Structure 1
Amino acid sequence: MKKEYLKLDKIDGSLIELSNLKDVAFEEVVNIKIPGKKEMVGQVVKIDEDRVTIQVFGESLGLSLENTKVSFRAQPFEIPLSVEILGRVFNGLARPIDKGGEIYSNKFYNINGRPINPATRKYPRDFIQTGISSIDTLMTLIRGQKLPIFSGSGLPHNELAAQIVRQAKLKNAREEDFAIVFAAIGVKHDEADYFINSFRETGVLDKVAMYINYADDPIMERLITPKCALTAAEYLAYEEHKEVLVIMTDITSYGEALREVSSSREEVPSRKGYPGHLYSDLAGLYERAGMIKDLKGSVTLIPILTMPNDDITHPIADLTGFITEGQIVLSRDLDQKGTYPPINVLPSLSRLMKDGIGEGYTREDHGDLSSQLFASYSHVEEVRALSQIIGSEDLSEVEREYLKFGDEFENKFLKQGFDENRSIEQSLDLGWELLRLLPETELDRIDPKLKEKYLKDSRS
C-alpha cells in the first residue's frame, strides 16, 4: 500500500524536507500534490537517517507545510523509449512538446545510467565525417569518441552544432543506421527555435531526437536533460543498433545549475563555488559514450561549453579536458576576422585521431598531411609575432611565404560556408594545394613517397 505524507518539516526554495520516513531510496521519484493545483514531481537528493530532502521539479510557490501531499513511487526517474523518438522534440524531463503525442512503449529506462565498464569498452576506430575541413583533417572525430567544443559567449557554436548535425555521416554506414540526439540545456526560446527550424528546413529532423531545457525552466531540469538524452542515445545504439551522435549545448549551464543546487543543499563549495563532485558528475555523463564489445551500435559525444571570460582553465572546461579525448577550441580573434567556423587549430586536438585515419579509414596521406599543416601553421604564428617586432619588410623570403600560407590557410581551409559540406577527399586535396605555397624543403614531416604522389600532382 502506497503511503502519503501530509506534513512537511521545511520548505527552502525548491527543496522540501520530511522526517520519520522508512524504506526511501536515493534518487527515488516523488509525487507532490497540492489541492487545486497540478501535480508536481520531485526526486530524493539527500537522506539523513529518517530525514529526507526532496528536490522539486518546478516552481515551489504554493507549497505549504500543512496541505502538501507527498508519496514515494519506489522507483528511480524512468522514461519510455522506442524508435519513435526520432523526429520528436521533448522538454528536459523527456515529455513531448511538439504536439506529436506521447511516446507509448512497454519499456521504461532509468535515466541514471552507468558509465561503460572499461573492461567491456571497444576501442574507437572509424572516422565520422562532419564536412568541416578543419575538424575532419586536423582533429578528426572518431566513432565512440568524446570530443568537446570549447567556445565563448557570442561565438557561433550554435551554428557549428547545427551544421555538424546536418552534415555528419559515418563512412560505410547506411543513412538509416545513423541517428542524432540533440540536448539543449538552459537555452533561450529563440535559440531552441533556431535549432528546430534549421533541422526541419534541411530535412534532417526525422533522424534527430531533441531534448530542450529552456532558460526559464526549473534549474533541476537542467541536471535531468543530459541524462534523458544519453539514455535515449544508449537505447538507440544498443537496442536499435544505430550509430548515434549526441550533441549537448551548453554544458556550462549544466555546471552552473549543479552549483546552484549544491549551494541550496548547503554543500561545501570547491573551486569558484562549484561542488567538489563536479568532476564525478561530468564524468558520469561523458563516460556513457563509447562502444561496447559484442554489441552493435555506438554513442559518440560532442559536448559544447562556453568558457566564462574565454578562460580555458575554468573548472568546467578544465575538468572536461581531463575526462574527454581532446577538444575543439573556437577563437574570438578568428571570429572577429569573419572566419567561420573560427576553429583555433593550435590548442585543438583529437587524441584518438591517429587510430581512425590513414589507409582503410580516410586516405593514406592523412596523417602526414595533418602533421605538416599543423607544424606549418604553428610556424606562421611565430613569424607573425616576429613581423610585429621587426616589420614584415625585414623578414626573409621563406618567412614571407609562411605569412602568405597562413593567410590562405585561414581564408581557404579554415573558412567555409555554413552550408558547405566538404568530403574528406576535398579537404585533403585542399591541404596539399596550400602546402604548394611553401618550399618543398620546408615540408619535412611528409614521407617522400607521399610527396611524390600528391605534392607533384598539385604542383603540375
Structure 2
Amino acid sequence: MQKEYQTITEISGPLVFAEVDEPVGYDEIVEIETPSGETRRGQVLESTSEYVAIQVFEGTDGIDRKSSVRFLGETLKMPLTEDLLGRVLSGSGQPIDDGPEIEPEERRDIVGAAINPTAREYPEEFIQSGVSAIDGMNTLVRGQKLPIFSGSGLPHNDLALQIARQATVPEEEAEGGEGSEFAVIFGAMGITAEEANAFMDDFERTGALERSVVFMNLADDPAVERTITPRLALTTAEYLAFEKDYHVLVILTDMTNYCEALREIGAAREEVPGRRGYPGYMYTDLATLYERAGRIEGRDGSVTQIPILTMPGDDDTHPIPDLTGYITEGQIVMDRDLNSQGIQPPINPLPSLSRLMDDGIGEGLTREDHADVSDQLYAAYAEGSDLRDLVNIVGREALSERDGRYLDFADRFEEEFLQQGYTTNRSIEETLDIAWELLSTFPKAELNRIDEELIEEYYHEEVAEEVAAD
C-alpha cells in the first residue's frame, strides 16, 4: 500500500526531509508531486520512526513544503531485456533515443546480488582491445576490473571510445568457440553535452551502438543521478552476462564525477567528512561497484570493468585513485608528457599494471612468446627512460654504445609501439610482431628475459643487420 504525506520540513541541496508517522524502508522509491503537478522520483537515503531523508534524482527545483511525498513500497529496479542492446538511456535509465518503450522480460534491483566467492571463476581469458600498450603489456582478461587513471585534459574519452569499438574476445579464447557474443555497456557520468555528442556520433558512425547499451548522465543533470547510473549499467551487464551468456565489457567514465556526487550528498546530510571532504564510506561504496565484475562457475558469460577516472592535479595519492587502486586489479596510466609529444594513446606502461595479465597470456592463450616479450619490453623501456635523465646531465656523447641502443629503443618504442592513433585496431599478432622488430635492434645476448627457442623463432635477423650497419 502506498503511503502519501504532505510533511516536507526541509530542502537541502539534492535532499528533501519529510516527517513520517512510521518507519519507511531504506532505499525505497519515492514520488514527489510539486504544486505545479510535476512528478519527481527519489530514493530514501535515511529513515527513522519520525523522519526520512530523500535524495531526488531530477533535482529539487520547484519542490516546496506544499509538495506531496508518496512512498511506493519498492526499491529502484532496472527493466531488463536483450532488446536494450542498441539503446541510449538517461542516467536514471529512461530511453532518450526516441525509440520504443522498453518492454522488460524482468525487473531487477539495481543494488545487485554479491557473487558468492566460492562460485567465482578465476579470470584468465584474454580480451583483445586492439591497443598495443594494453594488449601487449597490460593485458585485460575477462572478469577483471582494470581502471584507467587519467588527468584533466587528457584524451581518456578517445581511448574509451576506441576500446568500446574494438574490444573482442578472440574465437579461440572463447569457451565454445564462435558461440560467444560480446557486448559493451557504456556508463557516462557528469560529462558535457559536447562530449556526449562526440560519444554518440562515434557510436553511430562506427556501428558500435548495435552491440552496446549507453547510459548518459550529463554535467547539467542532477548530481544525485550519478549515484545510480553505474548501478543501472552494472545491473544490465549482469543480466546480459549471466542470463544471456554475453561477454560484457563495462566502461564507466568519469568515476571522479561519481565520487564528487557522493561528497555533495554527504555534505547535504552534514556527515563527518573523511579525507579531503569525501565520505568515510567511499571505499566501501566504490567496492560495491567494482566487485560486480567477474565470472561465475557454470555460466558462459562474464562482466569485465574498465572504470575511468581523472586524477585531480594528476595526483595518484588522491583518495579516488588511491582507493580505486586498492580494490581493482591494476591500472592503465595515461601520461601528460607522452600526450604533449603527440603519442596516441598516451599510455605509459611503466606505472601501469595488470595483476591478472600472467593468467591471460602465454602458450595456448594468445601466443607463446607474449609473456617473455612483455617482460623484455618493460625492462628495455625502463632502462631507456632512465638514461634520458642521465643524458640531460652528461650529454649523449658520454654514453656507451650499449646505452645508446637503449636510448634509441625508448624513442622507437614510443613512436612505433605506443603510437597507433585512435582508429587503428591491432590484433595481438600485429602487436607482438612490432615488439619483435623493436627488440631485434638489440643483440641476442641482451634479450635475457626471453627463452632461446623463442629468440630463434621470432628474432628479425635483417633488423639486427641494419642496426649493425648503421
Q: Same fold (TM over 0.5)?
A: yes
Q: Once the 2 structures are TM-superposed, how far is the Cα of residue 457 of structure 1 from its aligned partner? A: 5.8
Provide the secondary structure at the position in 1 that maps to 2:320: helix
d(CA) in 1 for partners of 2:144, 2:20:
46
Q: Once the 2 structures are TM-superposed, how far is the Cα of residue 79 of structure 1 from its aligned partner? A: 1.8
> Given the alignment, which residue of 352, 355, 360 partners 1:351?
355
Matched ranges for 1:259-298 at <5 A = 259-298=263-302
The aligned counterpart of 1:49 is 49
User: Per-residue CA shift, 1:366-421, capped at 9, x if unaligned?
Assistant: 00000000000010111111111111011001111111111100000000022111
Amino acid at match of 1:31: E
The aligned counterpart of 1:118 is 117
Provide the secondary structure at the position in 1 that maps to 2:104: coil
The aligned counterpart of 1:92 is 91
d(CA) in 2 for partners of 1:416, 1:381:
20
Change beyond 3 A, Cα 1:134–1:5: same
The aligned counterpart of 1:242 is 246
d(CA) in 2 for partners of 1:176, 1:439:
42
Matched ranges for 1:21-420 at <5 A = 21-65=21-65, 67-172=66-171, 173=174, 174=178, 177-420=181-424
The aligned counterpart of 1:4 is 4
CA-atom RMSD in angstroms: 1.3
Amino acid at match of 1:95: Q
Contact 1:40 1:56 in 2 (8 A): yes
Provide the secondary structure at the position in 2 that maps to 1:144: coil
d(CA) in 1 for partners of 2:142, 2:332:
16
Amino acid at match of 2:250: V
Contact 1:115 1:285 in 2 (8 A): no
Q: Once the 2 structures are TM-superposed, how far is the Cα of residue 58 of structure 1 from its aligned partner? A: 1.9
The aligned counterpart of 1:20 is 20
Length-normalised TM-score, structure 2 = 0.95
Amino acid at match of 1:39: T
Consecutive unaligned residues in structure 2, runs of 5 or more: 466-470
Q: Once the 2 structures are TM-superposed, how far is the Cα of residue 35 of structure 1 from its aligned partner? A: 2.9
Contact 2:436 2:460 in 1 (8 A): no
d(CA) in 2 for partners of 1:343, 1:114:
34
The aligned counterpart of 2:443 is 439
d(CA) in 2 for partners of 1:111, 1:12:
25
d(CA) in 1 for partners of 2:33, 2:393:
70
Q: Once the 2 structures are TM-superposed, how far is the Cα of residue 264 of structure 1 from its aligned partner? A: 0.5
Runs of 4+ more than 3 Å apart:
173-176, 456-460
Amino acid at match of 1:195: F
Contact 2:7 2:20 in 1 (8 A): no
Contact 1:57 1:218 in 2 (8 A): yes
User: Per-residue CA shift, 1:92-119, capped at 9, x if unaligned?
Assistant: 1100000002111241111111332222
Provide the secondary structure at the position in 2 that maps to 1:41: strand
d(CA) in 2 for partners of 1:399, 1:341:
27
Contact 1:10 1:18 in 2 (8 A): yes
Residues paired across the two proteins, number: 459
Q: Once the 2 structures are TM-superposed, how far is the Cα of residue 29 of structure 1 from its aligned partner? A: 0.3
Q: Once the 2 structures are TM-superposed, how far is the Cα of residue 175 of structure 1 from its aligned partner? A: 8.4
d(CA) in 1 for partners of 2:103, 2:379:
54
Q: Once the 2 structures are TM-superposed, how far is the Cα of residue 91 of structure 1 from its aligned partner? A: 0.3
Provide the secondary structure at the position in 2 that maps to 1:268: coil
The aligned counterpart of 2:468 is none
d(CA) in 2 for partners of 1:436, 1:146:
34
d(CA) in 1 for partners of 2:279, 2:266:
6
Q: Once the 2 structures are TM-superposed, how far is the Cα of residue 282 of structure 1 from its aligned partner? A: 0.5
Q: Once the 2 structures are TM-superposed, how far is the Cα of residue 120 of structure 1 from its aligned partner? A: 1.4
Consecutive unaligned residues in structure 1, runs of 5 or more: none
User: Per-residue CA shift, 1:326-380, capped at 9, x if unaligned?
Assistant: 1000000000000001001100010000001011110000000000000000101
Change beyond 3 A, Cα 1:457–1:125: farther
Q: Once the 2 structures are TM-superposed, how far is the Cα of residue 176 of structure 1 from its aligned partner? A: 7.1
Amino acid at match of 1:149: I
Q: Once the 2 structures are TM-superposed, how far is the Cα of residue 22 of structure 1 from its aligned partner? A: 1.8
Provide the secondary structure at the position in 1 that maps to 2:317: coil
Contact 1:21 1:52 in 2 (8 A): no
User: Per-residue CA shift, 1:175-234, capped at 9, x if unaligned?
Assistant: 871100000000001101111110111111110100000000001101010000000100
Provide the secondary structure at the position in 1 that maps to 2:459: helix
d(CA) in 1 for partners of 2:233, 2:443:
50
